[in-house]
Structure 1
Amino acid sequence: MKLIDNKGRIFGKINIFDILIIIVLIFGLSWGYQRYTNNQPVAISEQSEVLVQIFIHDVRNVTTNAIQEGDRLHFSENHQFFGEIVDKQVTAAEKLVETEDGKIVKSQIPGKYDMLITVKGFGTITNRSIIIGSREIRVGMPLKVYTNLYEVNTTVFVVEDQAQ
């Protein structure tokens, strides 16, 4: 019996093209498995103090008055404790507008304000992320937070690990 017959089958049973496809699939699957499971271990530190500045854009005066230092914020998505407000800065909200001559200028929005709020919380710091509650916190990410009096959409502006 020949190793490869006249129809291109090995031992008259398996096509060479089929074997090549199976070999490519095996290599591809093993490469993918190693790629996604061969990660570096996560170094976990103990809970430490984290200061997070969150930015609230374009809110009314009622909201700026409701938000006070000492308020305890919670995440809206899972109701876990986020932190305590230690500082708030309120400025007039601005937007870019085009003038009649085609220039782009900053213009204040009447009756609207921007807020920069500093929140002190406790989180787990790893070599990959900062986790407060069960939520990873990163600059630029949107957060929805609340107290018993208000709920606001914010954006993370600054994250500082106070243990460093």
Structure 2
Amino acid sequence: MAIIDSKGRLFGKINILDLGAVLVILLVIVGIFIFPGGSGSVAQVGGKTVPIEVDLIVRGLNVLDTKQLYARGFEKGGKTKVIIRNQPHGQIDIKSVEELPRTILVPQPDGSIKQLPEPDRSNSFSKDLRLTLAGKAQITDEGPVLGNSKVKIGMPIELDGFNYNFNATVIDVRLKEN
């Protein structure tokens, strides 16, 4: 009796392709359950947790009434949800919220430029804000990590709350040693 017959069956009973598929499935199952690999984010391995403050700037936030924005916890002492690179981090404390004045550059007769407050406009709904958020981050060789994402100057962070959802940009990261 031949090991493989004319129809490609092993010992006349099992198709070789079916046997190969079953072996691949078994190897995948063994690989998943016997050798699962490391768990967690690579960025979190070996880091210590320290308090962190992150300064954010929001340019051109279109809002009708800033009092409505501040009415539901978006204020000093409140909390906001933070989303970094589409990964939710959770809630973080709001240490301060400052509305920045709008200014314009005005050329002077001597050729210099002077920065002056923007004239009041009745239909100006665009606001600039500076925020400071405080929380805990893990420190790695590549910098601070909030959740599973590194926090660095220049990166966008999404803030989400009861009546708001907007993006801000990191302008400063300060680590507080214990």
TM-score category by the smaller chain?
A: 0.5 to 0.7
Q: String of CA shifts for 1:56-88, please: whole Å, max 9, x gaps.
A: 112245464313221222216122215211111
Name the CA distance, whole Å, in 2 between partners of 1:74 and 1:43: 22
- Tell me which of 60, 67, 92 is aligned to 1:83: 92
**Judging changes above 3 Å, is the alpha-carbon distance between structure 1 residues 90 and 80 closer, same or farther for their aligned structure 2 residues?**
same
1:95 deviates by 4.4
Q: Who is 2:133 aligned against?
A: 119
User: Which AA in structure 1 matches 2:138?
Assistant: T
Q: Does 1:71 align with 2:79?
A: yes
* Identical-residue share of aligned pairs (%): 19
**Judging changes above 3 Å, is the alpha-carbon distance between structure 1 residues 43 and 74 closer, same or farther for their aligned structure 2 residues?**
closer
CA RMSD in angstroms comes to 2.8
**Judging changes above 3 Å, is the alpha-carbon distance between structure 1 residues 64 and 157 closer, same or farther for their aligned structure 2 residues?**
farther
Q: Who is 2:29 aligned against?
A: none
The answer to which structure has the higher strand fraction is 1
Q: Size of the alignment, in residue pairs?
A: 123
1:50 deviates by 0.7
Q: Who is 2:153 aligned against?
A: 139
1:154 deviates by 0.7
Gaps of 5+ in 2: 1-43
Q: String of CA shifts for 1:122-162, please: whole Å, max 9, x gaps.
A: 11111211110111111122222211221111110110111
Name the CA distance, whole Å, in 1 between partners of 2:61 and 2:107: 22
Q: Who is 2:6 aligned against?
A: none
- Tell me which of 93, 99, 103 is aligned to 1:94: 103
Q: Who is 1:25 aligned against?
A: none
Gaps of 5+ in 1: 1-41
TM-score, scaled to structure 2? 0.56
**Judging changes above 3 Å, is the alpha-carbon distance between structure 1 residues 48 and 118 closer, same or farther for their aligned structure 2 residues?**
same
Name the CA distance, whole Å, in 1 between partners of 2:159 and 2:116: 28
TM-score, scaled to structure 1? 0.61
Q: Who is 2:16 aligned against?
A: none
- Tell me which of 47, 50, 53 is aligned to 1:51: 53
Please say if residues 64 and 115 of structure 1, whose CA atoms lie closer than 8 Å, have aligned partners that are also in contact. Answer: no
Q: Does 1:160 align with 2:174?
A: yes
Please say if residues 79 and 91 of structure 2, whose CA atoms lie closer than 8 Å, have aligned partners that are also in contact. Answer: no
